[in-house]
Structure 1
Amino acid sequence: MGSSSSKTVAPSLFLENPWRQINNGENPTDQHFVENYKPEVEEQNLRILLHGPVGAGKSSFINSVNSVLQKRVCCKALVANSCDCFTKKYTTYRIKKGNAFYPFVLNDMMGLKNTTSRRNRRIHVKDVKQALKGHIKDGYVFNPENKLSKGDRYYNRTPTENDKVHVLVCVVDTNTASLMSDATVEAIQDVRDEANGLEIPQVAIFTKIDEAFPEIKHDVTNVYRSECLQKRIEEFSKRVGIPINFIFPVKNYHSERELNPDMDAIIINAMRHIIDIGNDSLNRKLRSQT
């Protein structure tokens, strides 16, 4: 009796109506959109840049998107096993589609450490700005003490539209979202200012939702019925300025060996909106050039 009651999630944690509608289980609409996405211009790629605090799950999100699209659990991007930053290099990830690749790429970069050093935060923001403008080549090793210089061999002097970022994604650990220092929030806001100046839209991904809330760990389909998650996203939205409808909670693949249709649904839904938002930005830029 005791064991069965311990698995019961308190009804008070649930909202009467979900705060966002999503199809649980198989999600053919979102899956079809992502699998069949094509930019208007041939040979053009949509570039998605992931940034955010150390250990938030940027690499895990890339792996999860790859897993959903490959229809098996994959591990293309390396993932850290500690709270330290594992990603040191600027890396572009392309996802296989048969004998070709999907026409969107995901870029991973060094995470923002929770540091009190204003100099390090400024360097981080400047590196993100260079990435947004397409000036960083693959393989560049980030240095928290020095920003990328124009004389560096990894500096791209003449970026094309394919090198530039079209949508910026801030990846946040749900467990620590409400505990972010003012310095970290300031750095995220500074990055947003740079992206706004370049007319690049921004969204946020909330990861590790199952670790933060037992009602979601009990059943991932509760994601949009969790009042606690809704409140945490609202708080984050107020602090950094990203609208709530541009924030997407996900549970990344971590220890699972088999795909879970309910996890796939929220991952592919987030990816569908990221592509949709980024594609609008890409089309505006291409039309302005004609």
Structure 2
Amino acid sequence: MGRPLTKPSVPVAHVVPVVPVVHVAPVVREAPVDAVVRLQPWRKFVMNTAEECETYYKAEIKKASVPENGYNLVIIGPTGAGKSSYINSIYAMLEGSHSCVARVRANGDNCTKECTIYKSKTDQEECLIGDVKIIDTMGIQTDGNGITDECLNAVLDGKVEIGNLDEKEKMTKERTSFRPHAVIIVVSARHIESTGNDSAWRPVFHDLFDRIPTDVSSLIVITHCDMLNDINGDLNKVYSSVRLKAVVEKIGRDIGVTHEHIFPVVNYVGESARHVTPLQSVYIWESIMCAIRAAKNKGKMIQR
């Protein structure tokens, strides 16, 4: 018998399964909101560099504070806000080196126990701020231990004898030689950031603004800006800080002050007081320039 017939073997084809091609869009990671905003500063310098800004501000201050215009700038604010350190920073810049005309504690906190007047020792013709007097006051406190209402009213009316302890302040009726031409309210960025809508400070600030005479200009200086988390000592980030912008907006919203009257600064305190730099100074120069302009304009809108 022959061999049984078999069907010829057919090679088995290996079929590769067809996998549909899925077009996956590339993942675009959005930058954090903070980073986006930081690329767009909420306030810009008036010039391209800190050195150019400093030159501009000094020229404008010199122009506005000619010797025959004796202006009184009164510094008011909560205890520990940095009022005395702000004054020391001004004179450090005027003298080009560390200055301690106003007493402060080692950590820069409040040490003012009396109304004190400060004036440059340089001849008026040579002094950048001319015959501008800066008057420091006791701190405002919500517990009643700070400057008294009577003393605060007397300071704003120019009817207080400078240099006496608060509890012994002598009020006058006739003399008003120290009546302010402008009031600089100093607040701490850390303090403003931490206060809620129910803070006891809100009515205090409202009351303070109500006390300021209508013909006296007022502006706000924000200290401790370099301590905010998104600045952290980098002074180049002051005008692009999201947290500082929020502080400025909070002040404007809660107190009703326009942004043009709010000035963030970084005081010369501790080690920084030994090295006066254009970048750190430029923020303070701007606030002083606008304060003197405000004093000159008697309550009218000031411009940078």
Mapped pair 1:19 → 2:42 = yes
Extract structure 1 runs of 4+ deviating beyond 6 A.
Answer: none
- Cα distance in structure 1, aligned partners of 2:238 and 2:117: 30
TM-superposed CA distance for 1:168, in Å, is 1.0
TM-superposed CA distance for 1:222, in Å, is 1.6
| 1:227-255 deviation per Cα after TM superposition (whole angstroms, max 9, x unaligned) | 21111110122112222210100000012
The answer for the alignment partner of 1:286 in structure 2 is none
Structural mapping, 1:273-288, within 5 Å: 273-281=290-298
The answer for the alignment partner of 1:73 in structure 2 is 98
Mapped pair 1:272 → 2:297 = no
Question: 1:270 corresponds to which letter in structure 2?
Answer: S
Two-structure CA RMSD over aligned residues (Å): 2.7
Q: Secondary structure at the match of 2:240?
A: coil
Q: Which structure's relative contact order is higher, taking Cα pairs within 8 Å and 6+ residues apart? A: 1
Structure 2: gaps (5+ residues)? 1-32
The answer for the alignment partner of 2:61 in structure 1 is 34
| 1:49-95 deviation per Cα after TM superposition (whole angstroms, max 9, x unaligned) | 11111100000110111111112221111112369741011000102
Moved more, 126-135 or 208-217: 208-217
Match of 1:124 among 138, 141, 148: 148
Structure 1: gaps (5+ residues)? 1-9, 284-290
CA contact (8 A) 2:82 2:110 kept: no
Structural mapping, 1:138-287, within 5 Å: 138-143=162-167, 154-160=170-176, 162-180=177-195, 182-195=199-212, 197-215=213-231, 217-218=233-234, 220-255=235-270, 256=272, 257-281=274-298
- Cα distance in structure 2, aligned partners of 1:226 and 1:270: 18
Indicate how the Cα distance of structure 1 residues 239 and 250 shifts in structure 2: closer, same or farther if over 3 A, else same. same
- Cα distance in structure 1, aligned partners of 2:55 and 2:108: 36
- Cα distance in structure 1, aligned partners of 2:97 and 2:110: 26
Q: Secondary structure at the match of 1:97?
A: coil
- Cα distance in structure 2, aligned partners of 1:124 and 1:233: 28
- Cα distance in structure 2, aligned partners of 1:20 and 1:52: 24
Q: Secondary structure at the match of 2:233?
A: helix
- Cα distance in structure 2, aligned partners of 1:199 and 1:216: 38
The answer for the alignment partner of 2:160 in structure 1 is 136
| 1:135-170 deviation per Cα after TM superposition (whole angstroms, max 9, x unaligned) | 011112123xxxx7xxx6x2232124x421011111
- Cα distance in structure 1, aligned partners of 2:233 and 2:218: 28
- Cα distance in structure 1, aligned partners of 2:40 and 2:135: 36
CA contact (8 A) 1:89 1:140 kept: yes
- Cα distance in structure 2, aligned partners of 1:213 and 1:280: 37
CA contact (8 A) 1:90 1:108 kept: yes
| Identical aligned residues as a percent | 23
